């Protein structure tokens, strides 16, 4: 049913990704699907990485560690953005299209006041992507 799964990650919040990684790994094992961990980094220094290359290395390390933990091969795919707060959804949709993804498994957070005014990234992607999106809370 699914052949390529994408798991968007925010390396600032790795402690909140366990459920979505487990769900993606379980689905990948069931369907023998390829899994891609996609991270969108800045092109300027920030709290995660000083450079896009450093971000790519950290994402690769995260993918490798979690591949061992969950028993599937998570392939790292790093994207760079001038402002992920503004264009994260577009970058993720572009990545999904370029990788040939047919399922996105995405962690969400408990909604707060801001979500009554602005859509969450997971909500926006689920509403506007032309493929299946599984939001894991």
pLDDT band, very low/low/confident/very high, at 113 (cuts 50, 70, 90): very low
Q: State how far the alpha carbon of 132 is from the alpha carbons of 4, 63, 107, 123, in Å.
A: 11, 22, 14, 12
The pLDDT, as a whole number, for residue 124 is: 59
pTM assigned to the model: 0.87
Of 33, 11, 7, residue with least CA distance to 22: 7
Which residue segment(s) compose the domain that 34 sits in?
4-122+129-136
- The enclosing domain of 91 has a CATH number of 3.40.50.620
User: Count of domains in the chain?
Assistant: 1
Instruction: Give the number of other Cβ atoms within 10 Å of residue 133's Cβ.
Output: 20
pLDDT tens-digit series, residues 32-73: 999 999 999 998 888 899 999 999 999 999 999 999 999 999
Mean of pLDDT values over 95-109: 92
Judge whether residue 81 has pLDDT over 50: yes
More confident residue, 110 or 106: 106
């Amino acid at each position: 049913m699914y052949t390529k799964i994408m798991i968007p990650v925010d390396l600032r919040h790795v402690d909140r990704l366990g459920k979505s990684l487990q769900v993606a790994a379980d689905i990948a094992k069931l369907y023998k699907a390829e899994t891609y961990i996609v991270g969108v980094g800045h092109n300027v220094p920030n709290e995660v990485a000083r450079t896009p290359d450093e971000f790519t290395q950290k994402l690769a390390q995260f993918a490798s560690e979690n591949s061992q933990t969950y028993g599937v091969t998570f392939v790292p795919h790093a994207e760079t953005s001038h402002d992920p707060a503004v264009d994260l959804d577009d970058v993720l949709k572009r990545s999904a299209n370029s990788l040939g993804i047919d399922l996105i498994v995405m962690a969400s957070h408990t909604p707060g006041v801001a979500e009554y005014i602005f859509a969450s990234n997971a909500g926006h992607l689920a509403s506007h992507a032309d493929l299946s999106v599984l939001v894991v809370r």
